[in-house]
Amino acid sequence: MVHVLIRRLAGGEDLPLPEYQTPDSAAVDLRAAVTAPRVIEPGAIEMIPTALAIALPSGYEAQIRPRSGLAIRFGLSLPNTPATIDADYRGEIQVPLINHGREPVRIERGMRIAQMLVTPVPRIVWQEVAALPESERGSGGFGHTGQ
């Protein structure tokens, strides 16, 4: 279990804290803290506030991901998925939503708009070498397996 400090910001006092929807859900849902409904036109990107700020423990990140139901039904996603919230960020979590669909999408207060997954992040120690070890793939790029 990971303990994360969370703060409700102005405008989010009536919204529930992020919660798991089932006992085995990997991520919690974030809700829209819009003061009035917002419409995202096809092809448009809107920053949607959550009225939440968090303090992650050092060595963790929060990944913001699209909700699959919104993606399937409306074409809503994130333009930078997954988005990363670093452990030292203390500002409001805002969700950039992009409408890949053909119809405008209405975002209403309290609507579940994205998922947040808190996960450990190992630190990298670079070890520079003159050559890398061989592998079965080698330098084959995207699509090199024919899939």
User: Which CATH number characterizes residue 58's domain?
Assistant: 2.70.40.10
Give a yes or no: residue 139 inside a domain: no
Give a yes or no: residue 142 inside a domain: no
Give a yes or no: residue 10 inside a domain: yes
Give a yes or no: residue 71 inside a domain: yes
Give a yes or no: residue 67 inside a domain: yes
Pair of tokens at residue 102: 């053909």
pLDDT digits (tens, 9 = 90+) for 59-71: 999 999 999 999 9
Give a yes or no: residue 133 inside a domain: no
Tell me the residue range of the domain where 98 lies: 5-120
Query: What's residue 111's pLDDT?
Result: 98
Is 64:82 a contact under the CB 8 Å cutoff?
A: yes
At 68, give phi and psi (nearest 5°): -65, -35
Give a yes or no: residue 147 inside a domain: no
pLDDT digits (tens, 9 = 90+) for 71-126: 999 999 999 999 999 999 999 999 999 999 999 999 999 999 999 999 999 999 99
- E strand or H helix at 72: helix 68-74
Pair of tokens at residue 74: 């409306």
Contact residues for 98 (Cβ-Cβ < 8 A; gap 6+): 40, 43, 44, 45, 76, 77, 78, 79
Three-class DSSP category at 74: helix
Number of domains in the chain: 1
Give a yes or no: residue 135 inside a domain: no
